[in-house]
Chains A and B, each alone.
Chain A
Amino acid sequence: DGGITQSPKYLFRKEGQNVTLSCEQNLNHDAMYWYRQDPGQGLRLIYYSQIVNDFQKGDIAEGYSVSREKKESFPLTVTSAQKNPTAFYLCASTNPDGGYGYTFGSGTRLTVV
């Protein structure tokens, strides 16, 4: 079945540590996105990529980094520069001319310990 997979589902990070969240899709979608969601709040865009080897900052990119070396994969690194990383992270993908918006992954819950 085609879909978008995020891993791990739960992740714990020590302060000062970098961690990488995985996002893989087999939908042949060109564009991929990372969102952050804090408890009881909406979605905020971190980074997005419309094509391999290219990506753009979203609204809250500080303290995060991404890469897009393959069409299927768009990993997000939460760096030590992100002072408040505890949140629910969502990855999404789409084709720019698609008629059904984004397909979302099931999310990764990151907690700083």
Chain B
Amino acid sequence: GESVGLHLPTLSVQEGDNSIINCAYSNSASDYFIWYKQESGKGPQFIIDIRSNMDKRQGQRVTVLLNKTVKHLSLQIAATQPGDSAVYFCAEEGTDKLIFGTGTRLQVFP
């Protein structure tokens, strides 16, 4: 749903493990969803997107899963690396604008 300035939840994973970041969205009519990665002090960068007519989409080391029944989106990162450490945001297409989730901080430890 809308970002309301809440402090970010954190996911800590060991290097080489798989990471799963979850997101709940608000509008069952939303047709388009995106995951962004934001490194410290930088702007968010596009990772992967998915339309509502799909349940799963794969990229390089990343997979997005969409469960429309429960309005849930997840980002899976395979073989997590130190360079994956960042804040991850989901976004859903709203009227005239994207609606961003609160974000999750991913910390990768050796």
Contact = CB atoms under 8 A, between A and B. Distances in A.
Nearest to B5: A41
Contacts, number: 71
Interface string A91-113: 01000100111111111010000
A107 B49 contact: no
Interface residues of B, number: 27
B110 interface: no
A43 interface: yes
A42 B100 CA distance: 8
B27 interface: no
Contacts of A42: 3-6, 8, 89, 100-103
Contacts of B100: 42-43
Interface of B: 2-8, 32, 34, 36, 41-46, 49, 89, 91, 96-98, 100-103, 105
